[in-house]
Amino acid sequence: MKKIQLIISIFLLWTSYFQACDACKLQQPKITRNFTHGTGPESNWDWFIVGIITAITLTTLVCSFKFLIKPGEKNKEHIKNNILNF
């Protein structure tokens, strides 16, 4: 029980440490107000770029899990078999 309380207290302190300061909260739009420091996006192109980067990241994450769980390679001479047989 003490371990869980310690983990929760560390998590709460950790998350409050990385939140934006009050001056930066005023400069950010409502969506990113508590997450980042500095000025917010200056045009709609900034949001478009963030959206594209998010889509690429999520696609990469899904593909990595897909190939990690079910790689689909059956060839006995494939390099992964050399690594896995060590």
List, for residues 1-33, the tens digit of each pLDDT value: 778 887 877 776 666 666 667 777 777 777 777
Residues 6+ apart with CB under 8 A from 62: none
**pLDDT at 55 (0 to 100):** 97
Whole-number pLDDT of residue 13: 67
> pTM of the full predicted structure?
0.53
Span 33-76, pLDDT tens digits? 777 777 777 788 988 998 999 999 999 999 988 887 777 777 77
Residue 62's pLDDT is what? 95
CA pair distance 86, 56, nearest whole angstrom: 34
